[in-house]
């Protein structure tokens, strides 16, 4: 299944706020809760879809992350969220250097971003503590990032990131703490969804 490129509002109305997908928020979210009682399967499916659309993943990519998380030490759900939050496209979004995760992916694909002084054009690149993320030293790269920084109010950065807006530079201080994850999600339901598929 490919990455979703359809209307964002449709997904937000069904799943609730997806800040990584779009900055817009529909006025009417009444159908978010749906009608009647949902089955356990539909609740698990909904949480899985929420995770997938927020981080802009294909079904195959998300399944791969779930498998990696399952083999790692620690609770699978928490490890899964840490893996997704440490992706380069998500880090750029959380720093405010891109308005959305698809916008961050475009910055990376178009070779505007350096990690530790080297161009990285893979949005799924996994950032590590002490990684430095900067704009390429070109006017266009800096203008795109400046535009994003100017467009959106400065939000409180999660404690694993530091931003120097003057230098167009972000720093990864540590692995993200689960309380700073940028999406309200019941990650256990996502893990349950996949464990019941296999």
Q: 180 and 90 in contact (C-beta within 8 Å)?
A: no
Question: What is the per-residue pLDDT for 90?
Answer: 95
| Integer Cα distance of 5 and 2 in angstroms | 9
Question: What is the per-residue pLDDT for 165?
Answer: 92
Question: What is the per-residue pLDDT for 22?
Answer: 55
Q: 140 and 112 in contact (C-beta within 8 Å)?
A: yes
Per-residue pLDDT of the chain (198 residues), as tens digits, is 455 555 555 555 555 555 555 555 554 444 444 445 789 999 999 999 999 988 999 999 999 999 999 999 999 999 999 999 999 999 999 999 999 999 999 999 999 999 999 999 999 999 999 999 999 999 999 999 999 998 876 677 889 999 999 999 999 999 998 888 878 889 999 999 999 875
Question: What is the per-residue pLDDT for 29?
Answer: 43
CA distances from 112 to 21, 23, 117, 150, 159 (A): 20, 22, 12, 18, 25
- Residue 135 has, within 13 A of its CA and on its CB side, a CA count of 25
**Predicted model pTM:** 0.82
Domains of the chain, by residue range, sit at 8-84+181-197, 87-175
Q: Name which of 10, 19, 99 is nearest 51 in CA terms.
A: 19
Question: What is the per-residue pLDDT for 126?
Answer: 97
C-alpha torsion 69→19→118→131, nearest 10:
-60
Q: Please report which residue ranges of the chain form alpha helices under DSSP H.
A: 8-15, 40-55, 59-71, 76-85, 88-95, 101-109, 139-151, 187-197
Q: Name which of 158, 113, 117, 101 is nearest 138 in CA terms.
A: 113
The reply to whether CATH 1.10.1050.10 applies to domain 8-84+181-197 is: yes
Question: What is the per-residue pLDDT for 156?
Answer: 79
When the candidates are 1.10.3720.10, 2.60.40.1180, 1.10.260.40, 3.10.290.10, the CATH number that belongs to 87-175 is 3.10.290.10
Strand 169-172 with 113-115, pairing: unpaired
Question: What is the per-residue pLDDT for 179?
Answer: 82
């Amino acid at each position: 299944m490919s990455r979703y490129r359809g209307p964002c509002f449709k997904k937000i109305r069904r799943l609730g706020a997806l800040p990584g997908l779009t900055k817009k928020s529909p006025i009417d979210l009444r159908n978010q809760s749906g009608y009647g009682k949902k089955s356990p399967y539909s609740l698990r499916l909904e949480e899985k879809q929420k995770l997938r659309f927020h981080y802009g993943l294909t079904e195959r990519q998300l399944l791969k992350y779930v498998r990696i998380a399952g083999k790692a030490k620690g609770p699978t759900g928490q490890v899964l969220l840490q893996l997704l939050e440490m992706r380069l496209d998500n880090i750029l979004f959380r720093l405010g250097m891109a308005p959305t995760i698809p916008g961050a992916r475009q910055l990376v694909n178009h070779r505007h971003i350096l990690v530790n002084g080297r161009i990285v054009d893979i949005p799924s690149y996994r950032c590590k503590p002490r990684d430095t993320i900067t704009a390429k030293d070109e006017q266009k790269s800096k203008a795109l990032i400046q535009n994003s920084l100017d467009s959106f109010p400065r939000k409180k950065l999660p404690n694993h990131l530091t931003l120097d807006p003057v230098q167009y530079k972000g720093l990864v201080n540590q692995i993200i703490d689960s309380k700073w994850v940028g999406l309200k999600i019941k990650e256990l339901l996502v893990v349950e969804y996949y464990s019941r598929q296999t």
